Amino acid sequence: MAVQKPSIPKGTRDFGPVEMAGRNYIFDTVRSVFRKYGYAPIETPSMENLSTLLGKYGEEGDKLLFKILNSGDAFSKVDWNRAKTDEGINSNNLALQVCEKGLRYDLTVPFARFVVQHRNELTFPFKRYQIQPVWRADRPQKGRYREFYQCDVDVIGSRSQLYELELVQIVDDVFAALGVRIVLKINNRKVLSGLAEVSGHPDKLIDITVAIDKIDKIGLEAVKAELLERGLTEQAIQIIEPVLTLQGSNSEKIAAMRPILANSEVGMRGLDELEELFGFIAAASFKQEVEIDLSLARGLNYYTGAIFEVKAKDFQIGSICGGGRYDDLTGIFGLPDTSGVGISFGADRIYDVLSGLNLFPESTACSSDVLFANMDSQGVQYCLPIMTALRQAGCSVELYPDASKLRKQFEYAEKKGIRYLVIAGETEAQQQIINVKDLITGTQEVFQHNDLEALARKISTKS
């Protein structure tokens, strides 16, 4: 066979030991926080039936689904008449005739499908977290990949805003544990609906939210211009404008909104919800900033109540975590009136933040504690039980595979970031001792064969 130049599909990545260590640090941190709040893990298949996925992410999302060719003789049952148009083959029609499955696009739709499919086995409110990759056939660019991990935490089957509080606490705990200073912004979709109502454009909720969501990026004047462009009247914009420039504490903002939304029932309910949530937040103690941001909209149309977004204070990268409440995610699968709330942590962006701010702890590097040099076969025989004892004591231990020049063995340890080198050949075996060299300080220490506990204590980075 001809030699192939190895490569991977564009938009995908290999993760070496260093990236893995950083990523596992993030996953372990979020996981341990999720568990403290009683969330349990689930996993769903990488492939879902296309019927489960299609139509859930808008027209644009459907195009971004990776479809999997049916196995076996995929094209034998094609109805070519259906697949043909005057211009030639209709790719979309043909694709749907030969592909029944697709790779999951997010963790939310599979979660909704899971909840409905297993509703009789689950205890509600059902609290789950899910850390798995998702795939999108997006154009790859810096920070945007075709395969990336999502870490979602959701609870479904309750309307209680104590769960909104719980998610806010989780966000607070996770980023405190990671050492990242954040601002957590909160809004409520009902407030936005109310705003559309009182502006006289209840049908233009999407236009309004899309425009005002950009205020941080483009500024007030540009947002006003865009609202005009999207067909809002000057009068409507005058009603919306004060909302975009609200100042003050969270309760002051809510108070200021009440007269504006007084004529909208849904708007007032949104303000009540915000007030209740911030009441809970005041009763719990928070390590980080939590604030109302009435311009916060987020793209996803299934949110019906609280909306969350998290930004890092010391690093420019956009939102690193977000979510909200949805009242009818499971309806399409046959389970109506089941409200839930959830958030998703963006592992890739959080990785970039930790990396950019140098916040990864040193101990996440997963190099071994000690390398046993390979001096001679008597030395190896002597060292094998010692290595076993050290591993039992929790150390990570390697043996160099050949009795190569010591220089080469040193280099291996150095390149791999292994701090300690044990040198024990035939002579040391006879004397029942072990020489331990510290490659950072350059010092050397002798241990007795029967004093392995002291050796384990010295070399272990984990304890």
Number of C-beta neighbours around residue 237 at 10 A: 18
Asked if 318 and 352 touch (Cβ cutoff 8 Å), the reply is no
* Helices 162-178 and 17-36, packing angle to 10 deg: 140
- Pairing relation of β-strands 182-188 and 289-292? parallel
- Residue 450 CB, nearest approach to a copy of itself (Å): 16
Q: Which of 25, 30, 52, 253 binds a copy of itself (CB under 8 A)?
A: 52
What token pair was written down for 234? 């000057």
43 binds a copy of itself (CB under 8 A): yes
Burial of 230 (0-12, 13-18, 19+ CB in 10 A): middle
* Helices 205-212 and 189-198, packing angle to 10 deg: 110
Residues 93-112 interacting with a copy of itself (rule: CB under 8 A): 94-95, 98-101, 103
Asked if 232 and 201 touch (Cβ cutoff 8 Å), the reply is yes
Smaller CB distance to a copy of itself: residue 367 or 435?
Answer: 367
Smaller CB distance to a copy of itself: residue 52 or 188?
Answer: 52
- Residue 268 CB, nearest approach to a copy of itself (Å): 21
> What is the three-class DSSP state of 202?
helix
Which residue is listed with tokens 């990336």?
A: 148
Q: Which of 29, 108, 150, 169 binds a copy of itself (CB under 8 A)?
A: 169
Half-sphere exposure of 435 (CA within 13 A, CB side): 18
Smaller CB distance to a copy of itself: residue 17 or 143?
Answer: 17
9 binds a copy of itself (CB under 8 A): yes
Residues 21-40 interacting with a copy of itself (rule: CB under 8 A): 21, 24, 35-38, 40
What token pair was written down for 188? 């409520």
- Residue 397 CB, nearest approach to a copy of itself (Å): 7
406 binds a copy of itself (CB under 8 A): no
Q: Which of 239, 244, 399, 439 binds a copy of itself (CB under 8 A)?
A: 399
Residue type, 52: T
Q: Which of 395, 434, 436, 455 binds a copy of itself (CB under 8 A)?
A: 395
Give the ranges where 372-425 is alpha helix by DSSP (H).
Answer: 377-392, 406-415
113 binds a copy of itself (CB under 8 A): yes
Smaller CB distance to a copy of itself: residue 127 or 224?
Answer: 127
Q: Which of 143, 318, 361, 401 binds a copy of itself (CB under 8 A)?
A: 401
402 binds a copy of itself (CB under 8 A): yes
CA 63 to each of CA 69, 87, 183, 331: distance values in angstroms, whole numbers, following the listed order? 16, 20, 34, 23
Number of C-beta neighbours around residue 24 at 10 A: 14
450 binds a copy of itself (CB under 8 A): no
How far is residue 430's CA from residue 424's CA, in Å, rounded to a whole number? 10
201 binds a copy of itself (CB under 8 A): no
Asked if 439 and 414 touch (Cβ cutoff 8 Å), the reply is yes
Residues 344-383 interacting with a copy of itself (rule: CB under 8 A): 366-368, 371, 374, 380-381
Residues 58-87 interacting with a copy of itself (rule: CB under 8 A): 63-64, 66-69, 71-76, 78
316 binds a copy of itself (CB under 8 A): no
Q: Which of 81, 120, 285, 316 binds a copy of itself (CB under 8 A)?
A: 285
Smaller CB distance to a copy of itself: residue 273 or 293?
Answer: 273
> What is the three-class DSSP state of 281?
helix
Stretch that binds a copy of itself, among 133-141, 260-268, 315-323, 430-438 (CB under 8 A): 133-141
Which residue is listed with tokens 């303000």?
A: 271
